Structure 1
């Protein structure tokens, strides 16, 4: 278990699980939102994202949290040795996202 892809609906606990896995295994965690978006919230250009994503998936070990563009998602699925899909009911995901938004207010 050296290349782990974690994905699921928004609010399903991907980041929480990924952080715990990274801590337990010592494998570096990459959260796709931090690769797809700059600190000010603007999206990076596709070429920049593709380069960063390729560097990550061709490295020896990684945990990648998130979905991203479909072609990079498919590349990740083909490269990962472990896939973790968090499949919560929509109502649960909705509640967790709402709770997260309310906490930020």
Structure 2
């Protein structure tokens, strides 16, 4: 079971999770991170590090967010790895917990 980055990461893109990942399974897009499910070893270290609480075990992803399971797998094949944390978006705190951000995802 892999972990999944869900909607709340969109427009926040905190990268605290990246520093603790022992296998560098995070991939970076313009305003969102994803986890490569083929690389994730289910260690859970990233979950506690995410200020947006956007990382969930695949089995715990709510039905309304199930599309993010496939989205992580798809985008992980397209986006480059990120292996060190960076500053979040300047307005990340304003976007954290904002509803209905899926349409704002930049590919």
Which protein has the bigger strand share?
1
The structure number with the bigger radius of gyration is: 1
Please give the TM-score of this superposition, normalised by the length of structure 1. 0.27
**Which of the pair is proportionally richer in helix?**
1
